[in-house]
Amino acid sequence: MPDITVIAGQVAGIVSLVAFVPYILAILRGETMPNRATWWIWTVVGLMLGASYYSSGANHTIWVPVSYIIGPFITAILSIKYGKGGWTRFDRNCLLGAGVSVVLWWVFSSPLVALLINLFIDLMGALPTICKAYHEPESEDRTAWALFFAGNTANLFAVETWIFAISVYPIYMFLVSGIIATLVFVRRNHKAKVKAR
């Protein structure tokens, strides 16, 4: 009988990847405008996170990071035509930071160092979308963010060993996707009530 962590990891990866389907469809319909910088940063950092997280010992929880390489890459490509925002100095520094993390990983021979640096960079990349979800919640797809949050919640159950190197990524993704999903739902409902008055 398969271990619950194996099943949870596979379910989390599938749900996280499927979450990109409504998001991509919403982009193509013009209902969602992805922030260009966020999705390119998430693509580059996703590659680094996936590699460093796997090297840190992740096993059953690796499917979510894999989905967060594929989905953001497709979204980043679409953001060229359908997206919003440009490349600020901050955005360029985030990408530079991802490159620096590769060097530090090599210098210190520590995938955990690279993982932590990339989680910080990922958070910096998330900030434009968090701000956009707060100010323009209608510009983000609710179904997609609900699925992202569900996938990251399931991934918590895939953590096979609750040590820092293995648990930090699933906890971080749970928190960030939860913040964005909450903003998309709560702020949209709040704005709708304000307009109805």
Segments in the chain forming alpha helices (H) = 4-18, 20-28, 36-55, 63-82, 89-108, 111-135, 142-156, 164-196
State the DSSP code for 35: B
Domain of residue 132: give its range.
Answer: 4-196
Residue 26 pLDDT level (bands cut at 50, 70, 90): very high
Work out the widest C-alpha separation in the chain, in whole angstroms. 59
What single letter denotes the amino acid at residue 22?
P
Please report where in the chains the tokens 């160092």 appear, as a residue: 113
Model confidence at 105: pLDDT above 80: no
Quick: pLDDT tens for 130-166: 988 999 998 889 999 999 999 999 999 999 889 999 9
CA distance 173 to 52: 15
pTM: predicted TM-score of the whole model, two decimal places = 0.83
- Which span out of 47-56, 70-79, 89-98, 125-134 was modeled with the highest average pLDDT? 70-79
Q: How many domains does the chain have?
A: 1
Q: What is the mean pLDDT of residues 23-34?
A: 92
What is the percent of the chain where pLDDT is above 90?
44
